[in-house]
Amino acid sequence: MITSPPPQVDIISTSLRRRHLKAIVYIFVIIFGLGTWTNLAGLWVELPIIVPILPESWQLPAKLTLVINTANIFPILIVFASIIFKLNTAPFEIPVNFILLITSITLAIAFAFLWDKTTYLFGTKQSVYLMLLCFITAVADCMSSTTFIPFLHRYEPLYLNAYFAGEALTALLPALLGVIQGIGTSDCIMLDDNNTNGTLIEIYHPPRFSVRTYFLLLSFLPLAALFAFSSLHLMKTGRTEEKSSIIKSKHHQSRIFILMNNIEDIDIIQNTITRINKIEKQLENNKKKNQLKEFASSKQGIFLLIVFQTSAMLYGICPGLTTFSLNAYSATTFHYTIIANSFAYPIMTLIGAFIPEVSSKQIYFLYVIHVVFFIYIFITAKLSPCPPLVNNILGHVIIFFVWILASLTGSYIRILMGNYFRKTRDHRGLIWFGLATQIGAFVGSLIIFILTNNFELFKERNICDKISQCF
């Protein structure tokens, strides 16, 4: 007699297979996160190398920041359209994601060959090709904020942290590649011409490999993200079960029903119904106003304000201050602070996976600490070309750690806010979270662009110029 194997064996093997598939999905979601902001993260790592070469010089980061964040208008319009017209953007998320990932690969290759091309615009030599590439890249990356994260609404909540880990790697991997590349060196050489009166000029020596090679290597990250997203699209593991929802139609008609026995009273009845409808509309408008006031002073309203202000500082103002706050100390300090700064978000993502939630008081405390670090960064930029302790190694160490701690606190606040709005407001909450981030970044970049280019509040430092020496 043939005996069948115990049913427990099949149950165990099926459970184990599901765990393996979930682990594969988790890895794919991490790789999928590599498809956003990779090119711009790589560009920021290359800033210490390209700033001395391009005609914009120290004003380049502020201009790039404004160009990048100006692209925020596109996802903002999409979000507002989906909210006002109650559009269902879910069916468009998958095809749009494929387009964005293919575009990211193409742009990485374009950066490799066009980053140093310049042309005359308004009578001055400018990096028009670089600015245009940054704008297109930013449009694609900002669009990903409205399609990549909402796409994960189809999956269990644990995969959101996986995506944040992948997004963190878009800063970490370009930074590691920058470490391998190096910064190169620069020397002050005196001109032998008798008419120069002993003028010193700065001579730059190239890093281990070129900027072109850097971006070509970087293009493999969005390529891997495209493969991962294609796999996720084909797999069903890890997705939440779709719950059938009953759509309730909204009626603004009067809830009073009148039984008419006498048709002669119809005019009076119609006037009564009209008055009732006006009263109902007025009550509904008052309710909306009260809800807006309650939201502004609520926990969610305050948290959205924190997201906005943190994004303005972290993604808008600070990037435009990098040269004035860091390059004034030295090119080496600039280079390695930018690279170390890229490690901040991955570290906080790892911490966020273990501590995804904290109390409101702790969030407020982190926010205050973040503001303090930001103020010190702004002061050092304002005092350029002679920021505090510029000729002392202690000054280099302090500014290095201030930038790192500012990024750590700001990144952790962003992760906490993302988890909070995912938990409390679900799909719509993630959209509002992304919207506050994009608007904050744009406002911050506009402020720093005006201060840098219009008011010229910050000054450059030429280490070979005797006038720029700090004593």
The Cα–Cα gap between 213 and 115 comes to: 12
Asked if residue 283 belongs to a domain, the reply is no
Given a cut of 80, whether residue 82 has pLDDT beyond it is no
Tens of pLDDT, residue by residue over 189-225, are 776 655 555 666 777 778 888 999 999 999 999 999 9
CB 299 within 8 Å of CB 387: no
Residue range(s) defining the domain that contains residue 134: 15-183+210-239
Given a cut of 70, whether residue 252 has pLDDT beyond it is no
302 lies in the same domain as 223:
no
146 lies in the same domain as 46:
yes
The Cα–Cα gap between 315 and 445 comes to: 8
Asked if residue 191 belongs to a domain, the reply is no
Tens of pLDDT, residue by residue over 131-141, are 999 999 988 88
Tens of pLDDT, residue by residue over 222-238, are 999 999 999 888 887 66
CB 58 within 8 Å of CB 324: yes
Please give the tally of structural domains in the chain: 2
Tens of pLDDT, residue by residue over 289-347, are 555 556 566 788 899 999 999 999 999 999 999 999 999 898 889 999 999 988 887 78
294 lies in the same domain as 157:
no
Q: With both helix axes pointing from N to C terminus, report the angle between 331-342 and 158-181 in degrees, rounded to the nearest 10.
A: 160
CB 369 within 8 Å of CB 198: no
355 lies in the same domain as 434:
yes
326 lies in the same domain as 448:
yes
pLDDT at 269: 56
Alpha-carbon distances of 91 from 33, 108, 179, 237, 395, rounded to whole Å: 20, 28, 41, 19, 53
CATH code: domain of residue 87: 1.20.1250.20
